[in-house]
C-alpha cells in the first residue's frame, strides 16, 4: 500500500509539472475596445499602411487599433528622418530618449496616405511598432557574428543594438513594443546575413537576454516577403514561422526594392492575428511591472544579484551605460601623495545592465584624495529630471565615496557633492541623488549652498577622499541616468550579464516548417503514458 501511495503521489506531481509547462492558450482575437497604436517607419511602412496599397491602416482599425505614425521630418530634432538600425540607440538609449519617446507616446497625427474612421480612444499610444527600411538588409560581416559594438551596419553591431534597446523596453512594461524586421533586397550579395540576423531576432534575441516581460515581440516582415510559402502567421491554432521557399531575397519587388502591393497585402493578412496575439499576451500579464531576470553565468564569473527597486521614481534617460563607445572616465589623484593610486576602466566582470560596467579600484593615502570623472563637451540641461541614479556594486568597501556634479567650464568649475553611504558588499543597489541632496564643497566659494542649476551640468565624478586612514577598495558603477519622481514607482530593473550565444543562428533553413511548440510536451506525454501504465499495473496487483 505504501508503494501504491508513493507512485500515485509521484504521478499526481508529474501531472502538475506538465500542466505548468503546457503553453497558454493563444488568443488571436482583437482587443475588445480601441487601442492607440503608433508605427515608426519610412517609405516601405507608408506603402504598407496605404489604403490603396497594403491596407494595413484599414485592417488595424477593423481590429480595434487606432493608428498614427511617424515619417520623414517628424519629431524632436527631426528624429523621424533616422530609422536605420544604428539609429535605434538614439530613439531608445540616447541622451534625448525621454523627449523623443514622450513625443512618440503622445503623437496623434496621420503622416501617411490612409483614412482613420475609428474614434480616437484618447490617452497615449499603447503599442509602438518600429521598422527599418530595406537598405538595412545589406548587413556586412558573417551570419554567425556575435553581438559587437560598432558604428557600421553589420550583423554583430545590429545584434548589439537590439540587445541595448531592451534596456529601455523593460523600463516601460506599460507599453507594447513590436519589432518589424526590415524587408529583403532583390540583390542576394548579403542575403544570407539578413536571413541569419532576422532568424536571430525571432528565435534567439529575447532568450539570449533572459528577457521575460511580455511587452516585446517580433514580426518577421522580411520572411513573409521572401517567398509565397514563407510565413509568420497564426494558422490552425499554431504560430508558424516557416521558410518553405529557399530564397533570401525580395519575392514581391516593385520597380525597386520596395515590396509591391501583393507582398504588402500578404503581410497585412498575416500580421493582424499575430498583433492580436502579442497584444493579448501582454495584457494578460499579471501586472505591468518589470520582472527580475534569473541570474546567468558568464565566462568571467557568476554575475551578482540584480539591483532592487529604488524607492522614489523611475529612470528617465541613460547618460552612461558603459556599453557603447562613450568617453573614457579619467582618473585624477593627489600627486603629492605618492602611494595614492586610482584606476577607472570598463569591464565585463560584473554588470547590472547590459554586459559591462565601470570598475574603480582605489588606494588613497591618508589625508589625500582621488576622483574618477567625465565631462561633457558642452553644458547639459538636465532640469527636466529630479536627479541622478546609478547602480553600485561594492566588492571592497573602503571608507568613503562621494558623488560629484559639476557646473561651469574648466578653470571655473563649481563642485557639488554628496557622500554616498556605502552599502553592504556583494550585491547591486540602486543609488538615487536628488538635485537638492548636492551641496557646494566647502573649499569653494559659497561652500555648503544647495545645488540649484541642473540646467548647466558639465560633468560628473566619483570621489574617494581619505581622512586619517587609508581609503582602499573596489567598486563597480553601471547605468548612470536621470530619473523623474512620479514617472513610475520602480526604476528599470538591472539585468544580469548577457552570455555569449552558445549556438549562433544558421543561414540555412529547415526542409520542413518549424512551428512554435513547447519542447517539454513530447517528454511529458511519453512519461505520463509510462507512469499511467505502471500505475494501472500496480493497481491490478493490489486488487488481486
Q: How confident is the model at residue 462 (pLDDT cuts 50, 70, 90)?
A: very high
- Bridge partners of 330, per DSSP, are 373
* Helices and strands (H, E) in the chain, number of each type: 11, 19
Question: How far is Cα 333 from Cα 451, in angstroms, rounded to an integer?
Answer: 25
Helix (H, G, I), strand (E, B), or coil: what is residue 378?
strand
Order of strands, sheet of 127-131, starting from the edge strand that comes earlier in the sequence:
65-70, 35-40, 127-131, 176-180, 216-219
Distance CA 155, CA 407 (A): 40
Cα distance between residue 288 and residue 328, in whole Å: 36
Secondary structure, 3-state, 195-228: HHHHHHHHHCHHHHCCCCCCCEEEECHHHHCCCC
Mean pLDDT in residue range 218-231? 96
Q: Which residues contact 5 (CB under 8 A, 6 or more apart)?
A: none
Residues 6+ apart with CB under 8 A from 365: 334, 337, 338, 339, 340, 466, 470
pLDDT surpasses 60 at 290: no
- On the question of pLDDT at 202 being above 70, the answer is yes
Cα distance between residue 231 and residue 243, in whole Å: 7
Within 13 Å and on the Cβ side, how many CA atoms surround 317?
Answer: 22
Per-residue pLDDT tens over the stretch 10-65: 444 444 444 443 445 789 999 999 999 999 999 999 999 999 999 999 999 999 99
Contact present, 29 and 273 (Cβ < 8 Å): no
Mean pLDDT, the chain, rounded, equals 82
Q: Span 273-301, mean pLDDT?
A: 63
What grid cell was written down for 314? 523611475
488-514 residue pLDDT tens: 433 333 333 333 333 333 333 433 444
Structure-model confidence comparison of residues 499 and 160, the more confident one: 160
Residue 510 burial (C-beta neighbours within 10 Å; 0-12, 13-18, 19+)? exposed
Amino acid at each position: 500500500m505504501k508503494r501504491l501511495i508513493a507512485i500515485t503521489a509521484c504521478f499526481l506531481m508529474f501531472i502538475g509539472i506538465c500542466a505548468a509547462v503546457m503553453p497558454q492558450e493563444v488568443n488571436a482575437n482583437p482587443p475588445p475596445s480601441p487601442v492607440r497604436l503608433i508605427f515608426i517607419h519610412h517609405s516601405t511602412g507608408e506603402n504598407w499602411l496605404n489604403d490603396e496599397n497594403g491596407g494595413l491602416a484599414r485592417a488595424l482599425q477593423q481590429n480595434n487599433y487606432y493608428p498614427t505614425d511617424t515619417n520623414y521630418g517628424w519629431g524632436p530634432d527631426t528624429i523621424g528622418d533616422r530609422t536605420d538600425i544604428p539609429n535605434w540607440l538614439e530613439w531608445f538609449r540616447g541622451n534625448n530618449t525621454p523627449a523623443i519617446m514622450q513625443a512618440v507616446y503622445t503623437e496623434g497625427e496621420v503622416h501617411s496616405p490612409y483614412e482613420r474612421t475609428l474614434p480616437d480612444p484618447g490617452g497615449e499610444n499603447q503599442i509602438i511598432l518600429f521598422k527599418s527600411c530595406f537598405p538595412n538588409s545589406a548587413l556586412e560581416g558573417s551570419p554567425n557574428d556575435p553581438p559587437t559594438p560598432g558604428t557600421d551596419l553589420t550583423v554583430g553591431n545590429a545584434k548589439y543594438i537590439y540587445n541595448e534597446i531592451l534596456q529601455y523596453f523593460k523600463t516601460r512594461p506599460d507599453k507594447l513594443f513590436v519589432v518589424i524586421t526590415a524587408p529583403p533586397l532583390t540583390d542576394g550579395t548579403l542575403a544570407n546575413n539578413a536571413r541569419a540576423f532576422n532568424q536571430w531576432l525571432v528565435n534567439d534575441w529575447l532568450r539570449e537576454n533572459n528577457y521575460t516581460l511580455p511587452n516585446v515581440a517580433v514580426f518577421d516582415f522580411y520572411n513573409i516577403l521572401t517567398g509565397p510559402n514563407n510565413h509568420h502567421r497564426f494558422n490552425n491554432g499554431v504560430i508558424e514561422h516557416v521558410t518553405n521557399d529557399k530564397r533570401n531575397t525580395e519575392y514581391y519587388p516593385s520597380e525597386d526594392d520596395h515590396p509591391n502591393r501583393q507582398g504588402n497585402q500578404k503581410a497585412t493578412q498575416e500580421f493582424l492575428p499575430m498583433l492580436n496575439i502579442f497584444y493579448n499576451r501582454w495584457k494578460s500579464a499579471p501586472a505591468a511591472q518589470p520582472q527580475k531576470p534569473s541570474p546567468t553565468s558568464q565566462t568571467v564569473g557568476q554575475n551578482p544579484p540584480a539591483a532592487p527597486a529604488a524607492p522614489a521614481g523611475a529612470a528617465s534617460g541613460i547618460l552612461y551605460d558603459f556599453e557603447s563607445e562613450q568617453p573614457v572616465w579619467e582618473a585624477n589623484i593627489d600627486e603629492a601623495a605618492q602611494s595614492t593610486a586610482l584606476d577607472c576602466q570598463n569591464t565585463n566582470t560584473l554588470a547590472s545592465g547590459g554586459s559591462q560596467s565601470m570598475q574603480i579600484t582605489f588606494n588613497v593615502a591618508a589625508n589625500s584624495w582621488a576622483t574618477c570623472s567625465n565631462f561633457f563637451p558642452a553644458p547639459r540641461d538636465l532640469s527636466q529630471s529630479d536627479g541622478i541614479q546609478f547602480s553600485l556594486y561594492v566588492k571592497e568597501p573602503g571608507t568613503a565615496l562621494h558623488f560629484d556634479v559639476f557646473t561651469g567650464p574648466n578653470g571655473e568649475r563649481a563642485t557639488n557633492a554628496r557622500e554616498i553611504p556605502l552599502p553592504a558588499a556583494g550585491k547591486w543597489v540602486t543609488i538615487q541623488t536628488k538635485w537638492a541632496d548636492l551641496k557646494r564643497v566647502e573649499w569653494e566659494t559659497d561652500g555648503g549652498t544647495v545645488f540649484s542649476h541642473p540646467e548647466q551640468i558639465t560633468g560628473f565624478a566619483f570621489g574617494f577622499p581619505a581622512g586619517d586612514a587609508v581609503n582602499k577598495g573596489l567598486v563597480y558603477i553601471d547605468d548612470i541616468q536621470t530619473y523623474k519622481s512620479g514617472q513610475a514607482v520602480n526604476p528599470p530593473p538591472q539585468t544580469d550579464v548577457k552570455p555569449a550565444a552558445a549556438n549562433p543562428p544558421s543561414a540555412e533553413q529547415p526542409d520542413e516548417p518549424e512551428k512554435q511548440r513547447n519542447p517539454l510536451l513530447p517528454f511529458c506525454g511519453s512519461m505520463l503514458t509510462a507512469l499511467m501504465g505502471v500505475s494501472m499495473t500496480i493497481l491490478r496487483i493490489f486488487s488481486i
